[in-house]
């Protein structure tokens, strides 16, 4: 069900993006796509059940307008967007003019992640990417303008693992 929004926003005769398909398999991968749309942003996606305990695997997705935090304790706004199908994890290409999200999509980084915590307000992971590596948290904010806003935070490494 959660891919409905993904489907509604797109015309799959026009866009080269993957069609929505439910998946029951996931391997705890992440991707960060650099998306040269009307405004350059980064799309941060985590392969995980659509809700904790669900059998349906999707890419939980956030648009990060100002880039991925690099320094410990750096925070960047991350706006949660519609869940994307798992196949989107390898997507690169050009979304044509006139289509939703028109512009070029390139993979900026990808890899595996380890989930440390997930609830409605906090998702904490260790990313094992080339550019994004170490502990990161997504923390839900009170939001503004009706948007589902979070902060993406680069955390100090924790001892003990
Ligand atoms: Mn995007």
The confidence score (pLDDT) of residue 113 equals 97
Residue 136 CA to ligand 1 centre (angstroms): 20
pLDDT value of position 158: 79
**Which pLDDT value is given to residue 25?**
80
Q: What is the pLDDT of residues 12-70, one digit of tens each?
A: 999 999 999 988 887 899 999 999 999 999 999 999 999 888 889 999 999 999 999 99
Distance from residue 161's CA to the centre of ligand 1 (Å): 33
Q: Stretch 145-158: mean pLDDT, rounded?
A: 89
Residue 161 scores a pLDDT above 70: no
Q: Kindly report the CA angle at 45 between 157 and 37, in degrees rounded to 5?
A: 120
Average pLDDT over residues 106-118: 97
Ion ligand 1, residue ranges at CB < 5 A: 35, 43
Distance (Å, rounded) from C-alpha 9 to C-alpha 43?
Answer: 16
User: 46 C-alpha to center of ligand 1: Å?
Assistant: 14
Query: Could you give the CA distance from residue 137 to residue 150 in angstroms, rounded to a whole number?
Result: 10
- Span from the CA of 145 to the centroid of ligand 1 (angstroms): 19
Determine the pLDDT at residue 159: 67
pLDDT category, 160, cuts 50, 70, 90? low
Q: Residue 93 C-alpha to ligand 1 middle, in angstroms?
A: 12
- pLDDT for position 52: 83
Grade residue 142 by pLDDT with cuts at 50, 70 and 90. Answer: confident
Q: How far apart (Å, rounded) are the C-alpha atoms in residues 26 and 18?
A: 17
Quote the ligand 1 centre to 42 CA distance (angstroms). Answer: 7
Instruction: Give residue 116 CA to ligand 1 midpoint distance, Å.
Output: 26
| Cα–ligand 1 centroid distance for 78 (angstroms) | 11
């Amino acid at each position: 069900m959660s891919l409905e929004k993904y489907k509604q926003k797109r015309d799959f005769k026009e866009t080269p993006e993957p069609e929505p398909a439910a998946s029951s398999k996931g391997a705890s991968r992440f991707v960060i796509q650099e998306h040269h749309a009307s405004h350059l942003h980064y799309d941060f996606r985590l392969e995980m059940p659509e809700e904790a305990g669900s059998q349906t695997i999707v890419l939980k997705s956030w648009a990060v307008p100002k880039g991925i935090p690099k320094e410990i304790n750096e925070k960047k706004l991350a706006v949660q967007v519609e869940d994307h199908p798992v196949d989107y994890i390898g997507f690169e290409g050009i979304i044509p003019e006139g289509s939703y999200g028109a512009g070029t999509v390139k993979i900026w980084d990808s890899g595996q992640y380890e989930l440390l915590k997930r609830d409605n307000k906090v998702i904490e992971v260790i990313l094992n990417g080339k550019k994004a590596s170490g502990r990161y948290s997504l923390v839900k904010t009170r939001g503004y303008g009706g948007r589902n806003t979070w902060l993406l935070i680069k955390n100090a490494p924790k001892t003990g693992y």
